[in-house]
Amino acid sequence: MQLAAFIILFIVLCIFVIRGFSLCKRKMIREWLTKFTYISETNSYMEARQRSFAGKGYGKIPHAVLLIHGYSTSPRDFEILYPKFEAADISYYAPVYTGFGVGDLRLLAAVKAEDWLRDVLNAYDCLATFAEKISVIGHSNGGTLAFLLAQHRQVNQLILVNPNLFIHPRARKAKKMVLNPIVGWFYNLLKPYYNKPILPGNVTNLDYADQERAPTTFHFGVLPTTSFQAICKLQDSIDYKSKVNCKKISVLYGTRDRSVSNPDAFAVLKANDIPFAAYAYENSAHQLLNDFDREPAANQIIKILQEN
| 91-93 β-sheet, strand order | 91-93, 61-68, 131-139, 155-161, 246-254, 277-281
Q: What is the pLDDT of residue 179?
A: 94
Radius of gyration of the chain (CA): 22
Cα–Cα dist 84/93, whole Å: 14
pTM, two decimals, is: 0.88
What is the identity of the amino acid at 308?
N
- Cβ atoms 64, 131 nearer than 8 A: yes
Which residue ranges of the chain lie beneath pLDDT 70? 1-6, 12, 14-26, 28-29, 32-33, 48, 50, 52-57, 308
Q: What is the pLDDT of residue 26?
A: 62
Q: What is the pLDDT of residue 223?
A: 93
Within the chain, strands assigned E span 38-39, 44-45, 61-68, 91-93, 131-139, 155-161, 193-195, 222-224, 246-254, 277-281
Q: What is the pLDDT of residue 19?
A: 62
Second-level CATH architecture of 62-305: 3-Layer(aba) Sandwich (3.40)
Residues 219-266 pLDDT 10s: 888 999 999 999 999 999 999 999 999 999 999 999 999 999 999 999
